[in-house]
Amino acid sequence: MDELINQEESINELLARYGVKFGVYKNNTFHEQLFPFDTLPRIIPSHEFDYLEKGLIQRVNALNLFLKDIYTNYQIVKDGVIPEDFIFSSTGYLSPCIGMVPPKGIYSHISGIDLVQAKDGTWYVLEDNLRIPSGASYPMIARDLMRRAAPNIFRTYNVRDNRDYAKMLEETMDYVNMGGINVILTPGRYNSAYFEHSYLAEKSHATLATPQELFVENATLFYKNHLGYKVKVGSLYRRISDDYLDPLAFKPESLIGVPQSMSAYREGNVALINAPGNGIADDKGIYYFVPKMIQYYLHEEPILHNAPTYLPFYEEDRKYVLDNLEKLVVKDVSEAGGYGVVFGSDMDEETLQKWRDIISREPRRFIAQEVIDFIDLPIHENDKEVYRKADLRAFVLSGEKTRVWASGLTRFSRNPDSFVVNSSQGGGFKDTWVLSQ
């Protein structure tokens, strides 16, 4: 690995030159910063990835069935598996999407499932990201640069090629395409993931478009090309959150949406990737019920574990959380990116009591979990090898069939005392090597 370590600085310089940065809005100011890359890879043996692959396919299939059910028949609610109030009080549940079934019945075409591995080797799912999961482009370009820097390494270690993500993405968009071109919709240069939008568009042969280049006529979505001609859009991979997608359906003040795009979607003239309304499945409270969804829809036992989770919404769980808050981690169900996460172990007694009061007043707003002491991975820092907490975002694509990309985004904390690895919290990333047989 010395060959890779020696190239780390030059690889990070190239990443910066190519614009592989992460943007953060803080105090109403946009900050763009390098997403630090560590050349020591995470290595996943073939048999271990095969296990993860089966579990991830099972989980995403169940979540897609849940989304279809919850916007059409509500059967899982009628059968008492999930409380009605729990669904309809979620900020991620969008009433304008009720009764709308997307092309081919697929809601989450691109799912980002966040996992950690405990020190005993057990994998736990921490979060399901089914709205606009980001991050696939970073290991794609990093692997390309690593191949250039140390080509012999990949023959020695027999690593599975990860250059097929763009083809998987293109095939997924093609499968649900309603006639027309594939478009990746970006809010523009100042979006935190703009590099990814442009990189994925280039690699998947899709058209990169801003909202100003799209318009709707007769419930049909069009792209205006550089010659001024309009071209029908059959599949729109939108990198804009639901609230801002269509100012006529959601937030009227949105300046980055496409007016009437929901009308084109409702008429079946365009596929939206991912489907609006998926936020209900991202709700950290709904996460608690995913193992039950797998049993309910698939009649199978879950392959992957949830982290041990408590819902203060239930009286028994609430009592346990209040009595054991000092050893739990509390998460706001609607937050993302590492925000809204607090550790009881970091609180003094006054702060603990404050949080007990908040949880008692707003039990639906939070979940609490046991703290998993997940593994540390080696990183190269100041000419030394040190260990930091790391997770894995696996990418699962649902088209003609559900497939797991044999790679992923491994994020690590740069703070030796932190369990929070998100890039928005200052973390870095590694390449993920899935070994062949």
Q: With helix as H, strand as E and coil as C, how does the chain read?
A: CHHHHHCHHHHHHHHHHCCCEEEEEECCEEEEEECCEEEEEEEECHHHHHHHHHHHHHHHHHHHHHHHHHCCCCHHHHCCCCCHHHHHCCCCCCHHHCCCCCHHHCCCCEEEEEEEEECCCCEEEEEEECCCCCCCHHHHHHHHHHHHHCHHHHHHHCECCCCCHHHHHHHHHHHHCCCCEEEEECCCCCCCCHHHHHHHHHHCCCEEECHHHEEEECCEEEEECCCCCEEEEEEEEECCCHHHHCCCCCCCCCCCCCCCHHHHHHCCCCEEECCCCCHHHHCHHHHCCHHHHHHHHHCCCCCCEECCEECCCCHHHHHHHHHCHHHEEEEECCCCCCCCEEEHHHCCHHHHHHHHHHHHHCHHHEEEEECCCECEEEEEECCEEEEEEEEEEEEEEECCCEEECCCCEEEECCCCCCCCCCHHHCCEEEEEEEECC
pTM, two decimals, is 0.93
| Distant-in-sequence, close-in-space partners of 36: CB < 8 Å, separation ≥ 6 | 12, 414, 428, 429
Residues making up the chain, counted from first to last: 437
User: Which tokens belong to 366?
Assistant: 């939070």
Q: What is the pLDDT of residue 192?
A: 76
Given the structure tokens 């795009």, which residue do they identify?
A: 261
Q: Cβ(422)–Cβ(145) under 8 Å?
A: no
The rounded distance, in Å, linking the Cα atoms of 113 and 129 is 6
The Cα-based distances of 167 to 163, 172, 405, 430 in angstroms read: 8, 8, 11, 22
Q: Cβ(423)–Cβ(33) under 8 Å?
A: no
Q: What is the pLDDT of residue 12?
A: 87
Per-residue pLDDT of the chain (437 residues), as tens digits, is: 677 778 888 888 888 888 787 655 555 666 677 788 999 999 999 999 999 999 999 999 999 999 999 999 999 999 999 999 889 889 899 999 999 999 999 999 999 999 999 999 999 999 999 999 999 999 999 999 988 888 888 878 889 999 999 999 999 999 999 999 999 999 988 777 888 999 999 999 999 999 999 999 999 999 998 888 999 999 999 999 999 999 999 999 999 999 999 999 999 999 999 999 999 999 999 999 999 999 999 999 999 999 999 999 999 999 999 999 999 999 998 776 567 789 999 899 999 999 999 999 999 999 999 988 889 999 988 888 899 989 999 999 999 999 999 999 999 987 766 666 555 556 789 999 999 97
Q: What is the pLDDT of residue 395?
A: 98
Q: What is the pLDDT of residue 30?
A: 60
Q: Considering just the CA atoms, what is the radius of gyration of the chain in Å? A: 22
User: Which tokens belong to 258?
Assistant: 């496409």
Angle at which helices 165-176 and 194-203 cross, to 10°: 80
Q: What is the pLDDT of residue 427?
A: 76
What is the layout of strands, in order, in the sheet containing 309-310? 309-310, 366-370, 328-332, 341-343
Q: What is the pLDDT of residue 149?
A: 84
Q: What is the pLDDT of residue 314?
A: 93
Q: Cβ(153)–Cβ(4) under 8 Å?
A: yes
Q: What is the pLDDT of residue 424?
A: 55
